[in-house]
Structure 1
Amino acid sequence: MGQTKEINAYNFIAGIDVLFNLSPDLLCLFSIDGKILKANCAFKNALGYKDEDIVLQDFIDFVHPDDVEATFLKYKALTRNESALLFRNRYRCADGEYKSLSWNANQLPDGTLYASARDVSDIIIANKIKQNALKKLKLSNERYKLVTAATHDVIWDWDLKRNTLKWSKSFEDNFGYPTGQKKEPITTWSKHIHEDDKESVINSIREAITTPSDKFWREEYRYYRADGSIALIIDQGYIIRNHDGKAIRMVGAMQDITELKEKELRICNQNERLTDIAQINSHELRRPVASILGLLQLFDSEKITDESSRELLEHLKVAAFELDEVIRRIVDKTVA
């Protein structure tokens, strides 16, 4: 009967030992003085150790130097029969690298310290990547807001899947149509295009969207403001496509070039007037100059015996030719 109890006890301990080694968690037994008594297969495989590398070694020697103080304080709490839940530290691997572990530990009735851990290195790295991505996104959003606030252009974002459009506030500032900063139907834009330009503009953007090789779209057209006046627009957008080449989104900007075109027109008109004036002036000036040159040809310098009169005549000829040359250059510059 006693032998049966011993066999049952042995089988029970052996079963516990099997479960200990089969557990996917990193399991360890520590002595009250901090020595590693036993580690399961998951622990050794994760960190790259063999039994002879860790058994009877001080566990604190494997902890990252920056985590030693906090880990030691948690260990002292365990010796006072307090539990440790989800305590994180970094543990040195056999190759010298460190892995981040999340521990749960407590003290067993016999005074042994029992701990289970999970490798959370990938989770920590993923969280850092996520945090960095969120920081970059926040910075990008801040920059976007600053850019849209700084520019007079109308920034737009067209969701082609839902066929909805989102405007920057400058749409209202430029054209007088309230947007409320919400996504709106694409007709919010198209219904205000000048009737003589609407068909060509719609066909142009439709062709760009349905042509897989196209990445950019650009058009100039007339656009009605809320007060009925007409703005001259340069509109251009970048087409975002999926892996199949299908357009899923467009981001672009509308630029009101009405004032610029008006200035160009004024400059052109002014240039035309200046050209007309220059040509008229040159014609009017050349006529008396031509008369002077003709009259000078009538004088026979050889018959003029007075030296001072002869010099005066030569000066008049030179001055007349110089004036004629100046007029010719004015005409050439004006025509060019």
Structure 2
Amino acid sequence: MSNPEKAVPGSAAASAALVEREHQLSVLFNTIADVTFILSVEGEGRYRFVFANKAFEKTTGLPLEQVLGYYVEDIIPEPSLSLVLTKYREAITRMERVVWQETSDYPTGQVTGEVSVTPVPDERGHCSQLVGVVHDLTKEKQVEMALRLSNERFAYALKATTDAIYDWNVAANTLYWGEGFEELFGHHLAENPTPFSKWADLVHPDDSPRVVAGLLRTAFETKNVFWEEEYQFRRADGTWAEVFDRGYLLRDAAGCTVRMIGAMKDITPRKQAERQQRLLTEKLIGQNNDLQQFTYIVSHNLRAPLANALGFSDLLARVDKHSAVFDTSLHNLRTSLQLLDEVLTDMNDILSVRDEQAGYRPEPVPLAVVCQQALQGLHEALQAASGQLRIAIPADLRVAGSRAYFHSIFHNLISNAIKYRADARPLVIDIMATATPAEGLTITVRDNGLGFDRQQAGNNVFQLYRRFHAGQSGRGIGLYLVRAHVEAMGGQIAVESCPGEGTEFTLHFRPYADENLSH
């Protein structure tokens, strides 16, 4: 920066605005839950911390004053140090983002995280800084370890203990049940033993061909001594338990099955945990993609207007304020700051969505009502476009989710259809929804607008700042928010489109998709 005493009038206000923007940027970084840091590249293998957010201090327990200005070897312990130095060199050599997982010991304890570093080139194209982001996976890894240990204990305990013990007498074709059967499933045994068919009739119809027929095939057509299956078993109250059933077949000298001693274990909680684990994995993958986009914003979308603003502010301090160069530079400075403000606004919207997701709790949502409410704010625009919206959602359809999320989804998709309509034909928008206990909820939003080349768009349709019609205004954030809301409710979204024919969005929510991952 130039000497403030030589700055011409007006530059002080611009500098103050720049300082304020830098302050806002610092506040923004310090509100991010993920660890964010910037390293200055100082020669081969030398990296100095020049920035770290509050999350860095909270996660590691290291005060920022003991981090900033120090080299990485002073902060990161072995064996992680050797790993990160290798990854830093890789990022600089390839000049692209590098991602890995590491576990390190800090004052807060052992921390496991997914780390990414992105090289930031200077004006000569050389890497001058590394921008790092660490997503803390410690709790997830602890949950994963706890689940693995639980499964191991279950496998060992099964050999020594039983839940619903049974003894199948093959000759009489009867099952003698231990006390655990009534306790687990609620069925009162008026007689014991019971016919084999009583158990077979309580196996879920979808599982019966595999389970019942599979047991009989193992017993009478093979020489196996163990049989095991997972299936659904009807409780006395009509609900379905998910069970793990394992039996040992006793055979006579000729190899014929005479008895089978087995145990049924109710594994419903475990299966629910596996579903939650799967949903959590999908969520983590989505968050990783979001972090990748966020890093891109930091290293490109924010850096470019900020660098331009710095350059023009420096130029303003050195040129005659009555010159054309001064006026042009002042205009360009204002434009750069406006671009910076727009990026910060987008980032604030994104962070707001992530905050909302952290407190998400499913509720019964009347889908047809919410769709009509979303249309109210777009009714004038739809009429001005001479468009027709046809809604085929059952009036009594209530789904578990967030009313605000579904409102935002419908609003964004309908407004996009209006904005990108085709002038050659009247706009028609169709919204349909179907739901079944087995398949879950499917919502389809279809229009006959401009469409776009889906193949050319690739897998980045829902990324930030993706736009497909240069002649139309827009920030390229709407579809990103739609996907964020869908995935926050455990769903998936897909799109098909063809230029000149229109676009179709399909939103699918599996059964159990509304299970809250924060439980």
- Structure 1 length normalisation: TM-score? 0.43
Q: For the pair shown, which has the larger CA radius of gyration, 1 or 2?
A: 1
